[in-house]
Amino acid sequence: MKFQLKNILAVMALAIAFTSCSDDDDNKITGEGSIKLEFDNVYGDADFAFNTAYTNSNGEVIKATKVKYIVSNIVLTKTDGSTYTVPKSDSYFIIDEGTATSTLLELPNIPAANYKSISFGIGVDQEQFNLGATGQGDFLTTAQNAGMMWSWSAGYKFVAFEGTFTSSTVTTDTSYMVHTGQTGTSYNYNTINIDFPENAMVRTTITPQVHIMADVKHIIDGTNKISLTSNNMGGMGAMIMGGANLPLITANLSNMFEVHHVHND
């Protein structure tokens, strides 16, 4: 019995020593590095591609010609629960399926640490918008050039999802346009929170790449099912840019993103 007890105590001592050593190693992480965020658009279980037919839950066949969304206010959470917030002036991006370089963001000057999750906004937060046109910096011009503004008074488009569709009652290709953003008293900004399946190990010598899957199906075919056919306005097509559908679409975005994997090399 004494021999067994000694063995148990020895194992416990080794475990404590190993944990302490690991904690010491974590505490010794210093310096800064970079992290890459890769946004990979998919449609359900399929890779996303323009002008490819996808059938939604309403039996509508859609072909997308535009997928753009604004990513903002990136915050990284460390394994100890503390956070690093990317400076606001460097934290507004437009992810554009039509521009491959826009889908890979590299964030510099990140404190070296082990990170377990990320949060980011979809759209431009109201605090930033309230700074006025002169307070937007270069991003205002970027958004205008990308077609992600209605007008300054109307504000930014947070998501632009466009293409054509058919259904059992709409038998010829008919255009649709889904734009989210501020409408009336509803701002429709959304914050996304995602855990990493493994830690992102930012080091001076390691730049992790976080592979974020963005399922564009969720825009109108998530928890809330939005019918393009019901929003068809005849010659103008289906135009969803306000009304009761917009907060439903904003809610859908909460489940649009997940981290598939993290490369630590």
The range of the structural domain enclosing residue 22 comes to: 1-28
Digit-coded pLDDT (tens) for 12-48 = 444 444 444 443 455 678 999 999 999 999 999 999 9
Reduced to 3 states (helix: H, G, I; strand: E, B; else coil), residue 138 is coil
C-alpha pair distances (Å), 30 with each of 23, 26, 114: 14, 9, 11
Same structural domain, 8 and 98 = no
Same structural domain, 52 and 18 = no
Same structural domain, 71 and 126 = yes
The chain-wide mean pLDDT, for the chain, equals 91
Same structural domain, 184 and 249 = yes
- Please report the pLDDT score of residue 16 as a whole number: 42
**8 A C-beta contact, residue 152 and residue 132:** no
Same structural domain, 201 and 241 = yes
Residues 6+ apart with CB under 8 A from 114: 26, 29, 78, 79, 199, 200, 201, 202
* Predicted TM-score (pTM) above 0.75: yes
Digit-coded pLDDT (tens) for 81-127 = 999 999 999 999 999 999 999 999 999 999 999 999 999 999 999 99
Same structural domain, 50 and 66 = yes
Digit-coded pLDDT (tens) for 224-241 = 999 999 999 988 999 999
Instruction: Provide the domain count of the chain.
Output: 2
Same structural domain, 139 and 221 = yes
Same structural domain, 1 and 66 = no
Same structural domain, 35 and 92 = yes
In the predicted model, is pLDDT for residue 3 greater than 60? no
Same structural domain, 115 and 141 = yes
Same structural domain, 47 and 3 = no
Same structural domain, 92 and 116 = yes
Q: Characterize 50-67 residue by residue with b for buried, 16 or more Cβ atoms within 10 angstroms of its Cβ, and e for exposed.
A: eeeebebebebebbbeeb
**8 A C-beta contact, residue 115 and residue 202:** yes
In the predicted model, is pLDDT for residue 62 greater than 80? yes
